A and B are shown apart, each in its own frame.
Chain A
Amino acid sequence: GESVGLHLPTLSVQEGDNSIINCAYSNSASDYFIWYKQESGKGPQFIIDIRSNMDKRQGQRVTVLLNKTVKHLSLQIAATQPGDSAVYFCAETHNSGNTPLVFGKGTRLSVIA
């Protein structure tokens, strides 16, 4: 069946360093991907998305990379700050977003000051 998972459940990073959060997906038909950030006691916050016709997309301090060959997605956070501490989820869908999102298990990012 469909599944979206993560390689690392926890990640500790020194403040100022770059963070890389990885995500694997199993549905080769997936064509739209979203990264969410969830802080304690809050709902998931949209960070960045990417469609399958791209392999890279950049936002403010964040970059998402998509490797369709190995069905792998990553989120890179530059110059990680204490405010980046949260749980990060990848989510995928197919049919150009006409089917509900499937969420990965989440990675907890802890930033060490």
Chain B
Amino acid sequence: SAVISQKPSRDICQRGTSLTIQCQVDSQVTMMFWYRQQPGQSLTLIATANQGSEATYESGFVIDKFPISRPNLTFSTLTVSNMSPEDSSIYLCSAQRDRGYEQYFGPGTRLTVT
């Protein structure tokens, strides 16, 4: 399995500002993902973080709003840009050792936008 940590664990931000969330995995992994989870709801994939190239975004998510970096095989960041209250959610980082293997999750970052 992989142990995944995220920073910050929670934050309260003002409208119009940006927040960068960090994700660190304790071992090298092929795949890293970012999800959003509204309170009491399921997980929605934002994008796949690709090492050495641009992230692959799902429908409804764009790079200008959610820029992602993946500089190496153990680390990724997600930025939530120009935040609005609608961005209040839990953001989860996930990692997969290789395609077709178990996918593990970090503890999440709880974001509140006022």
B-facing mask of A30-44, CB < 8 A → 1, else 0?
001010100000111
B42 to chain A: which residues have CB within 8 Å? 89, 103-106
Q: Are B102 and A100 interface neighbours, CB within 8 A?
A: no
* Contact A44 B43, CB 8 Å, known A100-B33, A100-B48: yes
- Residue A84 is within 8 A (CB to CB) of chain B in the complex: no
Tell me which of B14-22, B70-78, B81-89, B103-111 binds A.
Answer: B103-111
Chain B interface size band reads 20 to 34
Q: Are A43 and B100 interface neighbours, CB within 8 A?
A: no
Interface of A is mostly: mixed
Q: Are B108 and A42 interface neighbours, CB within 8 A?
A: yes
Q: Could you write out 29 A-B pairs with CB less than 8 Å apart?
A: A32-B100, A43-B4, A44-B43, A44-B105, A45-B105, A46-B1, A46-B102, A46-B104, A49-B102, A91-B103, A97-B96, A97-B99, A97-B100, A97-B101, A98-B99, A98-B100, A100-B33, A100-B45, A100-B48, A100-B58, A101-B45, A101-B103, A103-B42, A103-B43, A103-B44, A104-B42, A105-B41, A105-B42, A106-B41
Question: Beyond A43-B108, A96-B100: 8 further Cβ-contacts under 8 Å?
Answer: A34-B103, A43-B106, A45-B105, A89-B42, A89-B43, A91-B103, A97-B101, A101-B103
- Residue B68 is within 8 A (CB to CB) of chain A in the complex: no
Interface size on A, residues (CB 8 A): 20
Q: How far is the CB of B4 from chain A (nearest CB, A)?
A: 8
